[in-house]
């Protein structure tokens, strides 16, 4: 089982739609969680961190469910510019070291 799993999509949605992505992680000791956005042939950029209480940033809402070991990202009122790959990232520590593990990414295409 992969440490971080996502549905690769693609999700093709019309402009204005609401779309949700889920991500599951296997390491129950994981400490912090993020959603990154990656445009084609570019480096990933942070979209938002994910907090236990859930957090919202404009049209984007992130949730964390530690008991079920998944995080989610909700995008409301989708824009054409939201088309990208969304990467779930989990930070885990073991033996005094830490690392960031990426999910496979979920491709989103917002259609006019």
Partner 1 sequence: GAVVSQHPSWVICKSGTSVKIECRSLDFQATTMFWYRQFPKQSLMLMATSNEGSKATYEQGVEKDKFLINHASLTLSTLTVTSAHPEDSSFYICSAKPGLATTGELFFGEGSRLTVL
For residues 45 and 59, which CB has a smaller minimum distance to partner 1 in the complex? 45
Cα 8 to Cα 11, 52, 88, 94, 99: the distances in Å are 8, 24, 11, 28, 22
- What is the total count of residues that contact partner 1 (CB under 8 A)? 23
CA-nearest of 36, 97, 27, 98 to 69 is 27
Among 25, 35, 83, 103, binds partner 1 (CB under 8 A): 103
Residues 15-34, mask of contacts with partner 1 (x by CB under 8 A): ----------------xx-x
Residues 34-73, mask of contacts with partner 1 (x by CB under 8 A): x------xxxxxx--x------------------------
Instruction: Report how far residue 9's alpha carbon sits from residue 33's, in angstroms, rounded to the nearest whole number.
Output: 21
Instruction: Report how far residue 62's alpha carbon sits from residue 50's, in angstroms, rounded to the nearest whole number.
Output: 6
Residues that bind partner 1 (CB under 8 A): 31-32, 34, 41-46, 49, 87, 89, 91, 93, 97-105
């Amino acid at each position: 089982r992969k440490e971080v799993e996502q549905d690769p999509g693609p999700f093709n949605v019309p402009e204005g739609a609401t779309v949700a992505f889920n991500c599951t992680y296997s390491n129950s000791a994981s400490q912090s969680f993020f959603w990154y956005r990656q445009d084609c042939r570019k480096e990933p950029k942070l979209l938002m961190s994910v907090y236990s209480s859930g957090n919202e940033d404009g049209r984007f809402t992130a949730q964390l469910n530690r008991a079920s070991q998944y995080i989610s990202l909700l995008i409301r009122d989708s824009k054409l510019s939201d088309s990208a790959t969304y990467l779930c990232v989990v930070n885990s520590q073991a033996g005094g070291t830490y690392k960031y593990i990426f999910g496979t990414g979920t491709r989103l295409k917002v259609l006019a």
